[in-house]
Structure 1
């Protein structure tokens, strides 16, 4: 802890890596720091996010934390879930009473205890909603969103998220404000290749069935069958408990004989060197995405992107001419879209350059940081 004894803004988050919501938590913390506030962040584990926060002057705590995951609802895990709820509740109450924060910022809806504790201890509480699955069963969304009725206000990352929240619990939508994600990128990015010599496809994201890296793999295999010298680079890792999917993906690579044409980098904090070497970025998600940071990063890298035609992704990059939309989970459509880019390469290069300029303005991290800081300061006063 620092020598700063002012009442802080307390930010709590369910992750510790540098995926989409992790990066937004970091940007929110930076925004409050730039506004001159003391900021304390509580995370369930230490990971790549911690040094980034500390470099911004943020104090980091690693308390026992209850995270509402699907595994917690399985009957065989109920005893462990009860234990985690008790430990997480005690830790949360202790932290709030010790810090007496000006306001509490709950990042992601899978932290159900913190809004209730914030309300009970009379701390102005804001939930930042990054998750939206309109296709999920209504009872599932009710379980996820209901604890956040205890929050005084909500931030949602897109109009699609706002509609999904409202369809589940209208009262939550009425206290929600849309603040689109801010997505950072290098000041300058390398131009795309003038002429193609092979075709480099990049996937960035969780290695999971939901995100569809296996769909990207199938599409690349189809391209190679059609005579396109395509390669695939995967950036990302499986989440704990989903290691079986990683093994399945490795077996799929071998089954297609693509060992020499697929590179799996694992998790990388800095994705921009790989994007700079890409010809196209794919986001083949099978299920709803609330926003689509990876798709935006592809636009900011000045590369064509092919993404699933789902509301959150269309809202994020639908206005850009270098973005193509395909049915989620359809490897054939994905391959056809990639062939279209190869066949009209010069046109897509020009579109991608123009789109980057527009996206840099639209997704400026500075605007996001300022909006979140002002929102949290207003919540603290209110």
Structure 2
């Protein structure tokens, strides 16, 4: 089976890390698979895919297309709508040129199946229409919240042979947008050997953040996320301020780990904005900004508590699975897709999205209760191995591939 993966960018966000793990495990599970990746921009995704033995190349996506997106329209008004409308003007001509290049690439490679890993690449499906291949759209977002993407993908849904959704809530949302297109729910997976409790592989968060070394016995609480505005950096800082106000002598530091990885304007905090918020809360010297880390496993193991604070429903939340696999006691927004298999108080603390007071209270409780942290961490690791291993992930995705291709090749099946 020859599989072509398409991704809009070459950076390593959650969807990209999940795809890398998928490709690595697919090759282990079936050596006959031939895997290929084309990304719209260069970056570490391509480097790591090549290191894993995948034929990975850039198919350059024009700047105007790579930065185009309607995610910033959530909850915003006329200014964002006007900006998007202005940027849409050159889109048809750019899409036509890029679509032609994509079709030529696909025809030259001749894949049996095209695995599209982002909304922008789903929207390119018409340019491969008529070619003898199956198309699987991997959905990592709530399409119903994306006004333009919802309409466009709904109109093109017949071109998708099947959809993989990374959580049950994403699957339900996708069914509402895509109609009769088959939707398969497959929770993301992580490398539970790399993300483990190995104690000697620990990051020096203070050095990475440019802070002086913390006194011995200092607890470390961290949020690991891109700088997307809905990831809850503001809620995390408000909770940190509340903890510091109520427990001024508590030896604890807080860390924001990540970067503004994506190229869609208006959807992310800048580093300057976050530093301003830190100063506003009087947390200078108590909060460190740690840049994006290619190996986040070392970051998780350095944390006393891991925090996931997304303020709106999150499709999955790969950092949750990674932190759990590292045995971290975790405070998790209950609206995340990964929380679908978690039990509050057993393998994580599940909290209402956007509730800074509840987050602060949970932080204070766990920071003062080491035995409880230990119990949560042990259960977290067990849950991650059982539900979030990348081997399970690849096995379930491969089953979708086989089902799609067997339907295409059967006498009753129709060629996509």
Q: TM-score, normalised by structure 1?
A: 0.88
Are 2:227 and 1:204 equivalent residues in the alignment? no
Q: Matched residue of 1:184: which SS?
A: coil
- TM superposition shift of 1:216: 0.9
In the other structure, the counterpart of 1:89 is 99
Residue range with higher mean Cα deviation, 198-207 or 77-86: 77-86
- TM superposition shift of 1:47: 0.9
Distance 1:377 1:140 in 2: 28
Distance 1:352 1:183 in 2: 17
Aligned partners of 2:229 and 2:269 also within 8 Å: no
In the other structure, the counterpart of 1:3 is none
- TM superposition shift of 1:373: 2.7
Distance 1:153 1:81 in 2: 27
Q: Matched residue of 1:231: which SS?
A: strand
Q: Matched residue of 1:206: which SS?
A: coil
In the other structure, the counterpart of 1:234 is 256
In the other structure, the counterpart of 2:53 is 57
In the other structure, the counterpart of 1:4 is none
In the other structure, the counterpart of 2:298 is 273
In the other structure, the counterpart of 2:121 is 111
Aligned partners of 1:64 and 1:87 also within 8 Å: no
Are 2:12 and 1:41 equivalent residues in the alignment? no
Distance 2:306 2:167 in 1: 22
Q: Matched residue of 2:229: which SS?
A: coil
Aligned partners of 2:123 and 2:153 also within 8 Å: no
Cα gap change, 1:309/1:357 in structure 2, threshold over 3 Å: closer, same or farther?
Answer: closer
Aligned partners of 2:49 and 2:56 also within 8 Å: yes
Q: TM-score, normalised by structure 2?
A: 0.81
Aligned partners of 1:133 and 1:289 also within 8 Å: no
Distance 1:125 1:158 in 2: 20
- TM superposition shift of 1:163: 0.9
Distance 1:58 1:278 in 2: 33
Unaligned regions of 5+ residues in structure 1, if any? Answer: 1-6
- TM superposition shift of 1:259: 2.6
- TM superposition shift of 1:249: 0.9
Cα gap change, 1:133/1:126 in structure 2, threshold over 3 Å: closer, same or farther?
Answer: closer
Aligned partners of 1:118 and 1:124 also within 8 Å: no
Are 2:367 and 1:342 equivalent residues in the alignment? yes
Are 2:339 and 1:314 equivalent residues in the alignment? yes
In the other structure, the counterpart of 1:167 is 176
Distance 2:43 2:148 in 1: 33
